[in-house]
Amino acid sequence: MKTLRILEWNINQRSSGTRMPSYITKEIQRKDPDIIVLVEFKGQENLSTLQNTFSSDFYLEHYEGDPTSDYEGDPTSDIEDNGANKGTLKKRNGILIALRKDKFEEPLSERHPQKYDETRPDWLNVHTTLLNSKYSLEIIGVKVVVGGDTAEDLENRKSQIQWLLSQNSPKNSSKKTNQHQLIIGDLNYGPHVTEYLYPEYIKRNNQKNSRRKDYFINWQDIIKLMWKYDYVKQDSGLASPYAPTGTSWKSERLDWLITTKGISVNKTSEYNCLDWSFGRFNTQYYAFGYTVPEGYFICSTPSHPDHAIFTAEIQIKTE
C-alpha cells in the first residue's frame, strides 16, 4: 500500500486572475500534501507565485480555462462589427495540479479541454507513475459549471458529471489493471439535494411557481452514475464518493473525491478534514461573504477562497 495525502481547494479566482491572498500558499504548506488540486485557479502572476513556492518539491501542471463567448470590458463603449472593441474574452475556470517529486515520477501527460463548450465541466487530467513503481495514477481535477438553481441547470450539472465519468470510466478498454484513477473537485452537487418530486406531485399540489419544482434530481442519481461507470459498486461499501464530515461551501458539501478500485480512503486519519480555519485571515467583515458554523467569516469576493480546504489521506494498492 502507498499512502498519500491529497488537498483540494476551490480558491475562487473564477475568471478574474486577480492576485490571490498570500495566505493561500502558507495554508497549503501547513497541510503538507503530496497532491495539490486547486480549482478556479487563474492568472500568470498567481502561477509564478506557486512555482516560486513549490517547484523545487512539486511538479506543477495547470489549465488556464478556455475563452467563453462573453467579454470583459465596458458594455457602454462603442463596439465595432468585428468585436475588436468589446474588451477581453472571459475565460472559464482554471485548474492547477501539483505532485510531490519524492512520491511521483514526472507526469507522463496532461490533458484538458481543447475548446469552449458550455455543456462540459472544466477539467484537467494529469497522468503520472508512482515513484519506483509500475503503477500509474490519473488525477483529474474538475469544476462543474453552474448557471442557477433551476431544474434545467441541475440537469446540466448531472449531464456534466455523467460526461466526465463516461469519458474516464474504468470500463474503457484502454484502462490498464495497474492504472488507478481519482477525480476530485467541485461537483456543485451533494446530498443537500435530496427531494425527488414527480411531475404529478408538482401539478397536484400547485407547485408550478415554487422553487421546490427545481429538485427533480437528487444526489442518489449521481451515485447511480458512479455505479454505472464502475467508480463505486452498489454493494461494495467502498469510500467513493468521499468527503470529510462538515461543509465545503456555506451549508453544503459540494467538493468530492471519486476513486476507482484499488484506492481507498483511510477514514480514521486525522488528516481528513473540511477546514475553514483560513477564515482567521479575513478581517474585512463589511465585505461580501458569510459566516460558517465554525465561527469564521468567509469573504466571497474573488480571489478570496470561499470553499473549505478539503484534505484526505488515501491508500493505493500497489501489489
The reported pLDDT for the residue numbered 231 is 86
Query: Which has the minimum average pLDDT: 46-50, 53-57, 200-204?
Result: 200-204
Contacts 24+ apart (CB under 8 A), 272-276: 272/244, 272/311, 272/312, 272/313, 273/244, 273/246, 273/309, 273/310, 273/311, 274/243, 274/244, 274/245, 274/246, 274/247, 274/248, 274/308, 274/309, 274/310, 275/31, 275/308, 275/309, 275/311, 276/308, 276/309
* Residue numbers of the domain that contains 205: 2-316
Provide the pLDDT for residue 70: 55
* pTM, 2 dp: 0.86
Pairing of β 309-316 and β 273-275: antiparallel
Enclosing H/E stretch for 163? helix 151-168
**Confidence at 287, pLDDT banded by 50, 70, 90:** confident
Cα→Cα distances 237→220, 241, 295, 306, Å: 15, 11, 34, 31
> According to the model, what pLDDT value does residue 96 have?
96
Least confident of 135-144, 184-193, 199-208: 199-208
- Crossing angle, helix 151-168 and helix 219-228, to 10 degrees? 20
d(CA 82, CA 125): 35
What is the distance between the alpha carbons of residues 161 and 105, in angstroms, rounded to a whole number? 29
In percent, the amount of the chain with pLDDT more than 70 equals 78
User: What's the CATH code of the domain at 146?
Assistant: 3.60.10.10
Is residue 308 a contact partner of residue 275, using CB atoms and an 8 Å limit? yes
Residue 215 predicted with pLDDT over 60: no
The string of pLDDT tens digits covering residues 224-271 is 888 889 887 555 555 568 999 999 999 899 999 999 888 889 989 999
Q: What pLDDT is attached to residue 173?
A: 60
206: cell is 400547485
| Residue 271: how many other CB atoms lie within 10 Å | 17
pLDDT tens digit sequence for 68-116: 555 444 443 333 344 444 555 566 789 999 999 999 999 988 888 877 7
Please, what is the average pLDDT of the chain? 83
11-15, 66-70, 212-216, 273-277: the lowest-pLDDT one:
212-216
**Number of folded domains that form the chain:** 1
Cβ partners under 8 Å of residue 231, min gap 6: 165, 169, 170, 183, 240, 241, 258, 259, 260
Cβ(154)–Cβ(214) under 8 Å? yes
Handedness of CA 199, 200, 203, 209 (dihedral sign): negative
**Where is mean pLDDT largest: 28-37, 124-133, 193-202, 288-297?**
28-37
In the prediction, which pLDDT does 69 show?
54
pLDDT tens-place string over residues 103-156: 999 998 888 887 778 889 999 999 999 999 888 999 999 999 998 777 678 888
At 154 the pLDDT is 80
Q: Do the beta carbons of residue 319 and residue 306 sit within 8 Å?
A: no
By residue count, the chain amounts to 319
Question: What is the maximal distance between C-alpha atoms in the chain?
Answer: 65
Sheet strand arrangement including 122-129: 109-111, 122-129, 136-143, 179-186, 255-259
- Predicted confidence at residue 230, as pLDDT, reads 86
Q: How confident is the model at residue 290 (pLDDT cuts 50, 70, 90)?
A: very high
* Inter-axis angle of helices 23-31 and 44-54, nearest 10: 40
